[in-house]
Amino acid sequence: MPATRREVLALASGAAVGAATAGVAGPAAASAADAGGWTATWAAPPTTIPPSAPAVLERQTVRQVVHCSIGGDELRIRLTNEFGSTPLRIAAVRVARRDGTGASTATVPGTDRPVTFGGRAGVTIPAGAPLVSDPVRLRVPAGGDLAISIYVAERTPVTTLFAFAFQDNVTAARTVTPTSTVGQYLFLAGVAVRRRGSAIVTLGDSITNGANTQANLNHRWPDLLAARLRATGIDRGVANVGIAGNRLLHDPNPPAGSDAVAFANFFGHSGLRRFDRDVLAQPGARYLVVLLGVNDLGHPGTVAPPSEVVTVDDLVAGHRQLIARAHVSGLVAYGGTILPFKDDTLGFYTPENERKRQALNRWIRTSGEYDAVIDFDRAMGDPADPIRLNPAYDSGDHLHPNDAGMAAMAAAVPSRLFR
């Protein structure tokens, strides 16, 4: 499902990076503990770009704000060039605690830290690869925000990104004056904190990504779930790997000449294809929550060819693969039922698609193959017409929940599943 509104990330031109501030602690020394004890606190699954001229950065700083689900005294940052065809050269990276709320990208005085990779400030990321930083000593509060600044010196096409950030985001300066904004996370794929713990990975589409929620309030249902868990003393990281428009079974495949050619690549690889990279690679991953399938029903004939119409058996087989791969890797797998979408404005609803949705939800509820069920469908339906999204939770397109709907989704997740 394409998002209908983007939040922005800010760019600043020609930002100086220079030497680290005197007296500011550098990266922690490597130790045997580096092999373990890391838990994901935030994630952004990478995608590639549509077949048009990519954005180009040169002598620019990209400052990006991320919202942390759990805290710790050390962190690591994961950068990505996984969709790049040439090496990606990063001149400098810095991290600090974000000061303020809303669209602010200012940083808390005294918290700015340099980020190194194998002891080097500048680094080249090979084509097709991610890169994990050295540990950085910085206390990260649970539920707090980080400002991560990436400086690119030479001319660099942006080929790997997370398309729909839903977070207002512009090296060492406490405040940076933006020269332009984009609604994407660039080159940034994750943050982990050092702690013995475990993480919940939410695998989904735009509903999990947070489409149509208010900017800068962190009202995606995984964010609200993380807040609920913190409030009840359940210490779990939450890595949200929802991608707007994502499908369980198919990669993007817009019909030639259609409007979808301009944006479909942002939908990302299928859930089955990206599972190892986006789920299993998350530090401390222990729990999986799956909410995928509505785009498999709605895309064929709208932004994908009719030949990609799926059957209920196709969807069940895909979910079974996710369950099996999660279990082999020691993850507990929870299945979320597909939300109602009668009369949606994107053209997804048909009586046949509703029949398939009902059949898939029945299998998720009754098969016993998932370790537990999270019944988003029943939580979100209109009491007067259960196959329609509750008007109180409707963002306006009858498919994506609004902020109140996201809160209802978070409340529908039993906290006991993560004790």
Give kind and range of the element (H or E) at residue 1: none
Last residue of a domain, one of 193, 223, 257: 193
Note the pLDDT of residue 178.
56
Q: Specify whether 177 is located in the same domain as 58.
A: yes
Q: Specify whether 343 is located in the same domain as 369.
A: yes
Structural tokens at position 76:
């690591």
Note the pLDDT of residue 102.
64
Give the residues of the chain that fall short of pLDDT 50: 1-35, 165-166, 168-171
Q: What residue ranges in 14-160 does DSSP mark as E strands?
A: 38-43, 56-57, 60-67, 72-80, 88-90, 92-97, 113-115, 123-125, 130-132, 136-140, 145-152, 156-157
Q: Specify whether 303 is located in the same domain as 399.
A: yes
Residue at 63 is within a domain: yes
pTM of the model: 0.89
Residue at 217 is within a domain: yes
Q: Specify whether 235 is located in the same domain as 334.
A: yes
Contact yes or no for 77/191 (Cβ under 8 A): yes
Residue at 273 is within a domain: yes
Q: Specify whether 182 is located in the same domain as 264.
A: no
Q: What range defines the domain where residue 318 resides?
A: 198-418
Q: Specify whether 236 is located in the same domain as 337.
A: yes
The number of folded domains in the chain is: 2
Which of 235, 321, 232, 215 is CA-nearest to residue 274?
Answer: 321
Last residue of a domain, one of 143, 158, 193: 193
Last residue of a domain, one of 136, 167, 193: 193
- What's the rounded Cα separation, in Å, for the pair 230 and 143? 9
Residue at 28 is within a domain: no
Note the pLDDT of residue 31.
30
Q: Specify whether 156 is located in the same domain as 204.
A: no
Note the pLDDT of residue 53.
63
